[in-house]
Chain A
């Protein structure tokens, strides 16, 4: 009696594309519904959940959690996409989202290869779960191509438009949900939120394992262009600690692991940008002046806006997100990425710039 048995797997029927078309795009026209599948100008119909194997909306793969430039970094290998565990898939035909836990961060929306997750009017992520003209069950009466071929086509699909309307209302909702689901702001779930936002924005990121007091840096970064970096996550009130923690991280990376200062990305992720009068900005200037390090800062709200706008941090470079007393706003950077940021009013929740 030494055979290793398997757990019973639920019987799940994949969905697949009707059409074997390789030139797909997903186009959001109405933010309260799933996007359309467009092929060479022809509207094939709305998308739907494919019921994936190893669903990307639920978990990251091992490869996605690897950080090539930091092979030894003891990163938290929690593979959950949703920082609050809101999206689950047990006995239902498709994954479902618990509205009490959803904070509308957009990670699952962005992760779905078929674009089948969208925000409802109540700003809860929802999985599109009906057969459509574009996507249906493999066993349906009308012909569909294989699930795996569908996944392949979707992986190449362009994403046109924003998957949600990025405006003050959405941002206020997200921040309220983050403070209500209080676990999010406690240590590791907050770090997981930031990590997952950066991962879907194509910036490889590893966060320190919970409870590991031997490693001081909150996160290490590795851009797809091969740029290494380090970061601090400060979603609470100790934002003034972040610059000196970055200095520590950089000293360790250079001295012990022989990275080059000029090529290191440095990033502080905060809930909202510190106020203009805060010592934080002055200290960043001091650091640039004396040791030549330009520490970037970005808010969680800005990351979420990028996620919904189909933006990317793949081309991030050192100093790109550095702004200080004389230049507080991230909008120039968003313009350079082609991201429409006009839906967020000036200074709203200190997401793109500080109010005062």
Chain B
């Protein structure tokens, strides 16, 4: 199935990003992805890890570029803008670019900016020499979707879009098009046929169904933005009201516009002689501008000459009047060929912007800030203060596992963690409480529906109670900043309402199944909170908690009390 580059669904935002690139690079003979990242950062389009501006760019930069979020974002923008014909790669270097004449016109369209964008959307075609997408599909995606909708009674669903127009091999084949329409209409008679067809596409293309659904997000956003479609739920196909996309009057107008034009692709021009190709490039390009409301009177003489001198050749080769062709040169031909006919004015080698990536973000060590996890040492305790708390179901399960694994702590921990990887709140919250009790921090989880108990659990103490914010694996597999915010609020409420005795020095805990893959954002927030409010937030993942509980039960090793009570940041428990 066709994958259109998708850097986001905010089409107006994408266009504004392009405008910024034009303003920065319109006279640059070449610019690269790092230059784009710098430009986007400068114009406040780039953020990373909770930061903005240059800090965002620094934090994003990685030696391995595939892990550099801003670099990848620039790459996606460059793909989209190349597919739209607004930028092109240099013939000699695929990762260096220039703005095209079409792109400059998009920028200059200040009366009805949308119209030229819509023309470019209809002109989008694959395969495309500008982006090296491996595909056996020859398709003009937006034109194909609109035509398919028209043939299907004016409406289509997301899944039908996947199974139908976006999976076509050759959208210009009347036989294949009719077959696709028949297939969709047949699916509409039986609700399970579409699901089956979707599954087959997924299997054949070796792409997961969820991924296929994601591929439709951008086309649907674009079609809505263009006011060619609108969402509806009132169409009674599949035996029940379902979500569909309906053609609007604007969409129907776009279909009638397409029907008046002969769809020509780059491969059709093979037999056309060079001068005729050049004439065709000009005729098609200026027809696009004319359709988008541009005043082309200043080039009419040239176009007239092109039509009179080369029109018959073009008609002979392509079987249609040269003025009625759907073909977008910047979106289908190689950079050097189009540039030779329609160069971007004012380019200067001196204005080239080829930047290197910033050096990796340096370690930041400011007062009070630490990096990395916080070591929680375990110490031997011969007599536990809270022996009675050890006789809970978590303790019993750990004892059973001790027998099963012969006391091997690592295996016990692995097994226990694995057994709870899909727990929901009602299972996980009491479990966490019990595990804390096992390590000599008596803990009770809050009862559901008790609004004033905002925390999920509380380690109660005569002086330093600790509220706990828990995220079960059913809620989120990896912890996020949301839990940090909630832990902060828990502590403030506890200090304010004094439901349990506590001090400002005592931490507020977050417990979740996994630490986030990238801890930096959570870590930064924890230290921001500490420096501004003087409140500590400590984070413990489930594996660490189970490790501590296991070692406490089996080896009488308990975490150092003070270290846990004043924990700030991510806990690092000694490895089993």
Whether, in the assembled complex, A256 has its beta carbon less than 8 Å from a beta carbon of chain B, the answer is yes
**Contact status of A255 and B532, CB under 8 A, knowing A2-B342, A7-B112:** yes
- Listed stretches A40-48, A128-136, A282-290, A342-350; interface member: A282-290
Whether, in the assembled complex, B531 has its beta carbon less than 8 Å from a beta carbon of chain A, the answer is yes
Q: Tell me, in angstroms, the Cα distance from A78 to B452 when the chains sit together.
A: 41
Chain B residues within an 8 Å CB radius of A76: 13
Whether, in the assembled complex, A210 has its beta carbon less than 8 Å from a beta carbon of chain B, the answer is yes
**Contact status of A74 and B9, CB under 8 A, knowing A4-B105, A289-B496:** no
Question: How far, in Å, is B393 (CB) from chain A's closest CB?
Answer: 32
Question: How far, in Å, is B513 (CB) from chain A's closest CB?
Answer: 21
Question: How far, in Å, is B561 (CB) from chain A's closest CB?
Answer: 25
Whether, in the assembled complex, A325 has its beta carbon less than 8 Å from a beta carbon of chain B, the answer is no
Give which listed residue, A7, A73, A291, contacts B52 with CB less than 8 A. A73
Chain B 296-308 interface 0/1 with A at a Cβ cutoff of 8 Å (1 = within): 1011001000000
Interface centre among A9, A77, A90 (most CB of B within 10 A): A77
Whether, in the assembled complex, A72 has its beta carbon less than 8 Å from a beta carbon of chain B, the answer is yes
Q: Tell me, in angstroms, the Cα distance from A132 to B289 when the chains sit together.
A: 40
Taking CB atoms and an 8 Å cut-off, the chain A residues in 252-302 that contact chain B are: 252, 254-256, 261, 279, 283, 285-287, 289-291
Whether, in the assembled complex, B461 has its beta carbon less than 8 Å from a beta carbon of chain A, the answer is no
Whether, in the assembled complex, A247 has its beta carbon less than 8 Å from a beta carbon of chain B, the answer is yes
Whether, in the assembled complex, A248 has its beta carbon less than 8 Å from a beta carbon of chain B, the answer is yes
Would you call A8 and B47 a contact (CB within 8 A)? no
Chain A 62-103 interface 0/1 with B at a Cβ cutoff of 8 Å (1 = within): 000000000111111110000000000010000000000000
Question: How far, in Å, is A7 (CB) from chain B's closest CB?
Answer: 4
Whether, in the assembled complex, A356 has its beta carbon less than 8 Å from a beta carbon of chain B, the answer is no
Would you call A244 and B10 a contact (CB within 8 A)? no
Whether, in the assembled complex, A212 has its beta carbon less than 8 Å from a beta carbon of chain B, the answer is yes
Would you call A4 and B532 a contact (CB within 8 A)? no
Question: How far, in Å, is B300 (CB) from chain A's closest CB?
Answer: 11
Chain A residues within an 8 Å CB radius of B105: 4-5
Question: How far, in Å, is A356 (CB) from chain B's closest CB?
Answer: 16
Chain B residues within an 8 Å CB radius of A140: none
Taking CB atoms and an 8 Å cut-off, the chain B residues in 302-349 that contact chain A are: 302, 341-345
Give which listed residue, A4, A210, A256, contacts B345 with CB less than 8 A. A4
Question: How far, in Å, is B194 (CB) from chain A's closest CB?
Answer: 26
Chain B 481-508 interface 0/1 with A at a Cβ cutoff of 8 Å (1 = within): 1001110110011011100000000000
Would you call B533 and A251 a contact (CB within 8 A)? yes
Question: How far, in Å, is A284 (CB) from chain B's closest CB?
Answer: 11
Chain A 238-249 interface 0/1 with B at a Cβ cutoff of 8 Å (1 = within): 000101110110
Taking CB atoms and an 8 Å cut-off, the chain B residues in 101-116 that contact chain A are: 101, 104-105, 108-112, 115-116
Would you call A5 and B298 a contact (CB within 8 A)? yes
Chain A residues within an 8 Å CB radius of B13: 76-78, 209-211
Would you call B451 and A188 a contact (CB within 8 A)? no
Chain B residues within an 8 Å CB radius of A254: 528, 531-532
Taking CB atoms and an 8 Å cut-off, the chain A residues in 1-44 that contact chain B are: 1-10
Whether, in the assembled complex, A351 has its beta carbon less than 8 Å from a beta carbon of chain B, the answer is no
Q: Which residue of A lies closest to B527 (CB)?
A: A255
Give which listed residue, A10, A214, A216, A290, contacts B496 with CB less than 8 A. A290
Would you call A8 and B532 a contact (CB within 8 A)? no
Q: Tell me, in angstroms, the Cα distance from A250 to B488 when the chains sit together.
A: 13
Whether, in the assembled complex, B51 has its beta carbon less than 8 Å from a beta carbon of chain A, the answer is yes
**Contact status of A250 and B532, CB under 8 A, knowing A5-B295, A256-B51, A283-B489:** yes
Whether, in the assembled complex, A337 has its beta carbon less than 8 Å from a beta carbon of chain B, the answer is no
Chain B residues within an 8 Å CB radius of A279: 451-452, 454
Would you call A248 and B108 a contact (CB within 8 A)? no
Would you call B492 and A286 a contact (CB within 8 A)? yes
Give which listed residue, A2, A244, A286, contacts B344 with CB less than 8 A. A2
Whether, in the assembled complex, B8 has its beta carbon less than 8 Å from a beta carbon of chain A, the answer is yes
Give which listed residue, B16, B104, B492, contacts A290 with CB less than 8 A. B492
Shortest Cβ-Cβ A-B pairs, 4 listed: A72-B53, A214-B47, A286-B496, A255-B528
Identify 12 residue pairs between A and B in the complex whose beta-carbon atoms are under 8 Å apart, listed by A's number: A2-B342, A5-B289, A7-B112, A72-B52, A74-B45, A188-B10, A214-B48, A215-B50, A216-B50, A247-B488, A289-B496, A291-B492
